Structure 1
Amino acid sequence: MSGHVSPSPAPEAPSSNPSNFLASITGAKVAVKLNSGVEYRGELQCVDGYMNIALEKAEEYVDGTLKNDYGDVFIRGNNVLYISAI
């Protein structure tokens, strides 16, 4: 034995592939922040290759305050700043 200890493998990091992340949170509660600063929270139903997003049970927040309760919403992808799992 040479006394050399091989390093243990690094813990698995979440996939850096956005498609895998989005697939893993489909059906989950998410926050979608728009370029305008408005945020929508709801259950992610689907996302396409253009980042168009469909949410169910959606609520609209402006400056952190609930403004509207829409039910179903469709958000055009070019308006999306980020999507976050809640």
Structure 2
Amino acid sequence: MENGNQSEGKDPSTFLGEITGAPVTVKLNSGVVYQGELQSVDGYMNIALEKTEEYVNGQLRRSYGDTFVRGNNVLYIAAR
């Protein structure tokens, strides 16, 4: 369907580029949630975060300086 009306949604790579350096929430397939500053994302959805907090069942479990999350574990990334 090519009707020239693609402004309704954003390309995921465009969205991720716009939120680089911003606070994000990353939820893993296991249910674990990471909150931190997005530093980079590659084509495999591998994610680098800074100032990261890990939440398990809604409870803060650990705080990390830098965190690397492998892309195949990611359920979603949301800007905060």
Matches within 5 A, 1:41-56: 41-56=35-50
For 2:58 and 2:47, locate their aligned partners in 1 and report how far apart those are by CA, in whole Å: 21
In the TM superposition, residue 18 of structure 1 has moved relative to its aligned partner by 0.3
1:7 match:
none
2:26 match:
32
Q: Percent identity?
A: 68
Structure 2 residue aligned with 1:70, among 61, 64, 70? 64
Question: Which aligned segments of 4 or more residues in structure 1 are displaced greater than 6 angstroms?
Answer: none
In the TM superposition, residue 59 of structure 1 has moved relative to its aligned partner by 0.3
**Which structure 1 residue ranges, 5 or more long, are not aligned?**
1-9
For 1:63 and 1:14, locate their aligned partners in 2 and report how far apart those are by CA, in whole Å: 31
- Give the letter for the 1:51 counterpart: M
Q: Deviations over 1:16-43 (max 9, x none)?
A: x100000010000000000000000000
* 3-state secondary structure, aligned to 2:49: strand
For 2:35 and 2:76, locate their aligned partners in 1 and report how far apart those are by CA, in whole Å: 12
How many residues align structurally? 75
In the TM superposition, residue 71 of structure 1 has moved relative to its aligned partner by 1.1
* 3-state secondary structure, aligned to 1:13: coil
